[in-house]
Structure 1
Amino acid sequence: MTDASVQARAEDVARAAYGKLVAMLASRSGDIMAAEDALSDAFVAALRTWPERGIPQKPEAWLLTVAKNRRTDQARKDARLVVTAEVPEMADAPLLDREDLVDERLKLLFVCAHPAIDPNIRTPLMLQTVLGLEAEQIARAFLVSPSAMAQRLVRAKKKIKSAAIPFVLPDAEAYPDRMDAVLGAVYGAYAVDWLEGSGDLSHEAFFLSTVLADLAPTNPEALGLTALIGFIEARRQARLRHGVLVPVPEQDTDSWDHALIEHSAALLDRASAFGQIGRFQLEAAIQSVHAARSVTGRTDWRALSQLYAGLLKMHPTIGAAVSRSAVVAEDVGPAEGLKLLDLIEGPEIEQFQPAHAVRAHCLAQLGQLADASMAYSKAISLCTDLPSRRWLEAKQSDLKRKMS
């Protein structure tokens, strides 16, 4: 196996297992930063030894063993752990039961959502401790400087240690106060991996969402999130064709997981029965409209437009606003879609790739081919994932052929 393939595998493990391993390492001491440092050393050791010995059968267990040893070398406090500078042989790493790790990871999520932690840093804190994202990546998403974000994250981790916040699942009555932030982080974990990743992280996020729904069966948003991810996950086999993105309305519905769609629809029905509509239920309802095409053979753009309008009132985001412009363009016409797109305010719209892709589509529909090609060029320049970039390039190529 080449060094490049080993590094790629190590990165996949890091993204999928980061939160689990940090939680396991920090659960007793409450020191998240020390756990992160030890885990970082373990990944360095993996990149040094895996090319020579091969990737272990249980890479998470191997990394946990090395991280524990590194932490003990530094702290010299836990006599129950063997202090050694050596990395374990492949056969000696303990096998970790997945169920044993789930509670630890959930505990870490709820620790980050503790009332003692500033609400504005809870989601970024989860993105770093559970997903392993760098402060710079998180800063871009939250439109602050990397240094400011790094300082806030460090303060939050120090607060967890100094306040001795216990790494335990809260009582059921405490779930409502913390659940929104936790659900948002789990969905963020899914979104990070859903298109180009190995699938490990998105599968783990889906699994965590089902655990959260089981923990809080009367929380409609927990049910809604599981339904939402389920609807999207049901399309996994249809989302790419030869490495190129296939938009949902163009996907082959025969490739969808219809049993998972039915299960997700049942979860959404359970959530709706509580009469407490929320963001994730609305987003799940949007996905259910797309799923209905496998039965009706058509996409109900009017229903999508109405659902996005409701979502914008409850949870306004630039993504929802751009998506509504796109569905209105399909329902009423491209001119109306462009009007809605032009109403979206804020400096971030210029750097939001989907906005330029929607603009290009609408302009092309209106016959303004030169302007559409320019919009596609802007969208391509902002694209961060290869499948979407290939799709945009193909659309632009088709457009240029029409222009020639």
Structure 2
Amino acid sequence: MPPDAGRATEQVARQSYGKLIAFLAARSRDVPAAEDALSDALASALRVWPERGVPANPEAWLLVAARRNLMQAARRRTVEANAQTTISVALEEAEEHMNEASNSVFPDERLKLLFACTHPAIDSSVHTALMLQTILGIEARTIARAFVVSAEAMSQRLVRAKVKIRDAGIPFTIPSRPALPGRLTAVLSAIYAAYGLGWDGLDGEEAHHSLAGEAIWLGRALLTVLPDEPEAIGLVSLMLYCEARRSARRDSAGRYVPLDEQDPAGWDATMIAEANALLRKAGSFNRFGPYQCQAAIQSVHAARRVSGTTDWQALTTLYAALLTMKPTLGARVAQAAVIGRALSPAEGLTLLDKVDPRAVIAYQPYWAVRAFLLARAGDDAAAADAYLTAIGLSDSPAVRDFLASRLEQVRQASPG
């Protein structure tokens, strides 16, 4: 019985989407055309593979099909002769790569596409979203939820950015070394945002684990270009610390387990060791930045695997440093949670009260932390209200179930 064609197509699309788009777009200089060509190739696979069987190298099959789709689309368009020749030559080169070896290995151009997506000519507000869709294949509506905008608005922004890449002739190249530092912030932000989506997707195990893995791959690829850039090293360290805990985030029954209740024996010691080494290397350059600081925070948590305890005072110091460098809403809420544990729930709540109420209306971590601190302070009624809000804002069924169990605890403790 042949393999399930639908599942095989979905798997290769998830694993190879960015690599295929990057290879095609780097040669055609047209991201929307590359996306359309690959989309048609995937549709063809769903028609053909059930009849003929899944090919030995699905990625190669899709690249050849997408290349032909690009050629046909180019021929249908009325373009200048020299432009037609340019795209034809570029796409013939793509097919030659497919015929060079039986295993059809072709270059991974995602890092080049990443720098194209974060080019200064493109509005900086769309850099991360563009990378998430173009390189990782995340749908516009999913990105829109992460950025708290409508799916229609996000789709329009992404279309405009892709057209800008084509019409402005933005190069698909890794910038020269003198220009790299100025482009680095946008690239690191985009990679970390991708990892964050993979990390948060607790209930989409396979897909989100793959997304997190792709983000780590991009971080490692960046280190091959910038081996002595401490913030790039710090970002990879940060992602590895977090990834080391992935399997411990659920118990044997699949229930969500918060960090301070996880069994450190379930953390990946090898991954933690690599993260430790990278963090030490980053620190050797004496240029401390926010990604190194966040990695240092995670290293404190990781140390519980050896010491059995959490150094809350060290976390307090590190969060204070992080907020001087990058005062994001997430950092403020995390600092309040740490202060609430290290000092007192009241002091943690005081920090939460200083956050702009408009910024936290739909920010689930704020309400979860607030509920936790209120419960520790003995205000069970207010804690219950905060837990209800946090539950309503949670996308993950596992997290909702966890918060619901906490809600039930405070309700049972409340005299009312």
Equivalent residue, structure 2, for 1:28: 27
Note the C-alpha offset of 1:208: 1.9
Amino acid at match of 1:22: I
Aligned to 1:320: 331
1:343 Cα shift? 1.0
Residue 287 of structure 1 deviates from its aligned partner by 0.4
Q: Does 1:169 align with 2:174?
A: yes
Given the alignment of the two structures, is residue 267 of structure 1 paired with residue 278 of structure 2, yes or no? yes
User: Helix, strand or coil for the counterpart of 1:170?
Assistant: coil
Q: Distance in 2 between matches of 1:13 and 1:334?
A: 48
Which of 131, 134, 139 lines up with 2:136 in the alignment? Answer: 131
In the alignment, is the contact (CA less than 8 A) between 1:62 and 1:94 conserved in 2? no
TM-score, structure 2 normalization: 0.85
The residue type paired with residue 220 of structure 1 is P
Q: Cα distance 1:228–1:374, how it changes in 2: closer, same or farther (>3 A)?
A: same
1:224 corresponds to: 234
Match of 2:322 among 311, 316, 319: 311
Question: Alpha-carbon deviation of 1:130?
Answer: 1.4
Which among 153, 156, 159 is matched to residue 158 of structure 2?
A: 153
Other structure's SS at 2:361 match: helix
Aligned-pair CA distance for 1:395: 2.0
User: Does residue 1:331 correspond to 2:336, yes or no?
Assistant: no
Shift of 1:345: 0.9
- In structure 1, the partner of 2:63 is 64
> Are the structure 2 counterparts of residues 378 and 61 from structure 1 closer, same or farther at C-alpha, using a change threshold of 3 Å?
farther
How large is the RMSD of aligned CA atoms in angstroms? Answer: 2.8
Correspondence list, 1:316-395, <5 A: 316-395=327-406
The structure 2 residue matched to 1:188, chosen from 187, 193, 202, is 193
What runs of 5+ residues in structure 1 fail to find an aligned partner? 83-92
Question: 1: CA distance between counterparts of 2:370 and 2:7?
Answer: 35
| Inter-partner Cα distance in structure 2 for 1:6 and 1:360 | 46
Distance (Å, rounded) in 2 between the aligned partners of 1:240 and 1:57: 35
- 2:27/2:91 contact within 8 Å kept: no
User: Paired residues, what number?
Assistant: 390
Equivalent residue for 2:117, pick from 95, 112, 121 = 112
Deviation at 1:144, TM superposition (A): 4.4
Residue identity in the other structure for 2:238: L
Runs (5+) with no aligned partner, structure 2: 76-83, 93-100
Question: 2-side partners of 1:6 and 1:380: how far apart?
Answer: 38
* d(CA) in 2 for partners of 1:345, 1:143: 16
Give 1:7 deviation, angstroms: 5.7
Distance 1:212 1:354 in 2: 30
Deviates more, 1:391-400 or 1:18-27: 391-400
Query: Structure 1 residue 126: deviation in Å?
Result: 1.3
Q: Distance in 1 between matches of 2:210 and 2:240?
A: 15
Which of 273, 296, 302 is the equivalent residue of 1:291? 302
> Is contact 1:12–1:200 with CA below 8 Å preserved after alignment?
no
Pick from 162, 167, 178 the counterpart of residue 183 of structure 2.
Answer: 178
Residue 217 of structure 2 corresponds to 207
Q: Distance in 1 between matches of 2:404 and 2:6?
A: 29
Letter in 2 for 1:127: L
2:28–2:90 Cα contact (<8 Å) kept: no
SS state at 1:27 partner: helix
- C-alpha offsets along residues 207-249 of structure 1, whole Å, 9 cap, x if unaligned? 2211211210111111001110111111122121122221121
Work out whether 1:237 is the aligned partner of 2:247.
yes
Under a length normalisation based on structure 1, what TM-score does the superposition of the two structures give? Answer: 0.87
